[in-house]
Amino acid sequence: MTTLPDAAVRADEVGQRPTRIVVDLDALSHNLHALRIHAGVPVMGIVKANAYGHGLVPVARHLQAQGAEQLGVAFLEEGVALRRAGITLPILVMGGIFGPQAAQLIAEDLEITVSSIDKLRQVEAAAQALGRQATIHLKIDTGMERIGVHSYHAGPFIEAAVASRWCRVKGVYSHLACADDPASPMTRQQLGRFLEACAHFERIGAPMPLRHLANSGGLLHFPETHLDMVRPGIALYGVLPDPAAQPTVALRPVMSLVSQVVYFKVVPAGHPVSYGATWAPKADTRVVTVPIGYGDGFPRALSSRGEVLIRGRRHPIVGRICMDQFMVDIGPQGTAYNEDAVVLIGRQGDQAIGCEAVAQAAGTIPYEILVGLNGRIPREYVGGAQEPGSR
Ligand SMILES: *Cc1c(COP(=O)(O)O)cnc(C)c1O
């Protein structure tokens, strides 16, 4: 199955753009199951930001078919899109909410992050007006200083939520700031603060809600953070939050980014290539053009820094990356023909370029590479065929 953004002309009208993201659903299943076995607790699959660039709805459908217990998104709109697509799993909206959104969150059967007493009151009022209880997760700030009630002030917040007739406290959670680094002491500090805040439920004789803390880093590197549920995002997609850390679970990359050679030429010695004339070959060389650029979210920072695979070999990106195209030096003896496959992320023969390596060359993190690839690139879904009704 291939999806194009709504505004794009249909592929069967114009032929498929040769540049595409290939999403391996079997790799996604593998990662979900490997992470669940590692954690030993239910999994909230994080699908915010277009499922880290992999396609919100197809990824959510697949995770649902594969038995993920819950989904997590950042924003109301993402949750609504999943409900419109018929996703029935519980969905937590993790971002801070604005008061006027409370009614819609409840009406769409989305679970709400409540991150202050004020917001609790707004959700209560909306629930009462609708005559329908809201399902909420309390957000405790244990050191991220992003959203949530400081753990050292959590008592009155927890009491107010527990006392609320119109809110059902399904979960209590916090977010780890440094879990990608196995050596950071911050994670254990945050865990300690979180458990101390959770102890307040016991102190007031209230049932303990679902406690969840671990993002991918926590899941992979800090077993004590797994608690009652884990919230992996990037690891589900087979990418490590910190490429320098030792992998603790064998994951398979879900995304490949591929294109095809659209042009071949010889560039004479000293003739510069692309905008700004920043690079020129020292000797005559063969250069091919690839039809993808920063207009697709392929980072311009890879100008004269990134690499691609063509015919099973690694070749450097030369000159500036343009909005829609870039050039690759295949060397004076290199062979490549128009329409040859070009791998920007993924495997070809015995060579591979990981999203982690692309991020490092671009001076950023793998997250930003994945989510930056935008809707101009069609997504193609492979594998996962044995699931009736999952498409
Ligand atoms: C994005 C996010 C996650 C997932 O983070 P990864 O590092 O991708 O695993 C988990 N929890 C919250 C609150 C998030 O915002």
Report how far ligand 1's centroid is from the alpha carbon of 61 (Å).
19
Whether residue 176 contacts residue 213, with contact meaning beta carbons closer than 8 Å, is answered with yes
Residues 270 and 231 in one domain: no
Residues 189 and 317 in one domain: no
Residues 130-176: tens digit of each pLDDT: 999 999 999 999 999 999 999 999 999 999 999 999 999 999 999 99
Residues of the domain holding 321: 255-382
Structurally, how many domains does the chain consist of?
Answer: 2
Residues 341-358: tens digit of each pLDDT: 999 999 999 999 999 999
Q: Among the three residues 173, 205, 237, which one is the final residue of a domain in this structure?
A: 237
Residue keyed to tokens 């244990």:
142
Strand, coil or helix: 26: helix
Q: For a pocket test of ligand 1, which of 38, 46, 137, 173 has the largest count of ligand atoms closer than 8 A to its C-beta? A: 46
Pairing of strands 70-73, 313-318: unpaired
Chain-centre distance for alpha carbon 300: 21
- Give the DSSP per-residue string, 73-103: ESSHHHHHHHHHTT--S-EEE-S---GGGHH
Residues 283 and 160 in one domain: no
Residues 267-319: tens digit of each pLDDT: 999 999 999 999 999 999 999 999 999 999 999 999 999 999 999 999 999 99
The pLDDT value given to residue 387: 52
Enter the DSSP assignment of 282: S
Q: Among the three residues 237, 268, 300, which one is the final residue of a domain in this structure?
A: 237
pLDDT, mean over the chain? 95
Which is nearest to 182 in space by CA: 213, 216, 217?
217
Residues 55-78: tens digit of each pLDDT: 999 999 999 999 999 999 999 999
The pLDDT value given to residue 16: 74
Residues 146 and 103 in one domain: yes
Residue 58 belongs to a domain = yes
Residue 1 belongs to a domain = no
Residues 144 and 272 in one domain: no
Residue 391 belongs to a domain = no
The pLDDT value given to residue 267: 98
The pLDDT value given to residue 339: 96
Mean pLDDT value across residues 94-120: 97
Enter the DSSP assignment of 180: T
Which is nearest to 140 in space by CA: 198, 203, 208?
198
Residues 13-56: tens digit of each pLDDT: 666 789 999 999 999 999 999 999 999 999 999 999 999 999 99
Which is nearest to 303 in space by CA: 361, 263, 342?
361
User: In the predicted model, is pLDDT for residue 4 greater than 70?
Assistant: no
Residue 29 belongs to a domain = no
Instruction: List all residues 6 or more positions away from 257 whose beta carbon is below 8 Å from its beta carbon.
Output: 19, 20, 21, 22, 292, 298, 343, 344, 345, 346, 373, 377
The pLDDT value given to residue 388: 47
| Percentage above 70 pLDDT, the chain | 95
CA gap 201, 189 in Å, rounded:
20
The pLDDT value given to residue 7: 45
Q: Which atom of ligand 1 is nearest to the CA of 180?
A: 7
Which amino acid does the sequence have at 331? Answer: G
Whose alpha carbon is nearest atom 12 of ligand 1? 175
Q: What tokens were used for 152?
A: 């050292």
CATH of the domain at 218: 3.20.20.10
Whether residue 289 contacts residue 263, with contact meaning beta carbons closer than 8 Å, is answered with yes
Residue 145 belongs to a domain = yes
Q: Is 132 annotated as a binding residue?
A: no
Residues 210 and 68 in one domain: yes
Pocket of ligand 1 (CB under 6 A): 46, 48, 94, 175, 215-217, 231-235, 241
The pLDDT value given to residue 12: 55
Q: Among the three residues 205, 237, 269, which one is the final residue of a domain in this structure?
A: 237
Residue 69 belongs to a domain = yes
CATH of the domain at 352: 2.40.37.10
Instruction: List all residues 6 or more positions away from 377 whose beta carbon is below 8 Å from its beta carbon.
Output: 17, 19, 20, 21, 257, 292, 296, 297
The phi, psi pair for 201, rounded to 5°, reads -60, -45
Residues 46 and 186 in one domain: yes
Surface-to-core class of residue 72, CB atoms within 10 Å of its CB (0-12 exposed, 13-18 middle, 19+ buried): buried
Residue 19 belongs to a domain = no
Report how far ligand 1's centroid is from the alpha carbon of 256 (Å).
22
Residue 4 belongs to a domain = no
The pLDDT value given to residue 34: 98
Which of residues 177 and 12 earns the better pLDDT score?
Answer: 177
Strand, coil or helix: 274: coil
Residues 263 and 177 in one domain: no
Which residues are designated catalytic? 48, 275
Radius of gyration of the chain (CA): 24
Whose alpha carbon is nearest atom 10 of ligand 1? 215
The residue count for the chain: 391
Residues 225 and 273 in one domain: no
CA distances from 227 to 30, 35, 141, 212 (A): 22, 14, 17, 6
Residue 213: band (very low, low, confident or very high) from pLDDT cuts 50, 70, 90: very high
Residues 261 and 211 in one domain: no
Q: Is 186 annotated as a binding residue?
A: no
Enter the DSSP assignment of 259: E
Residues 289 and 198 in one domain: no
Give the distance between the most distant pair of CA atoms in the chain: 79
Residues 266 and 218 in one domain: no
The pLDDT value given to residue 390: 41
The pLDDT value given to residue 389: 45
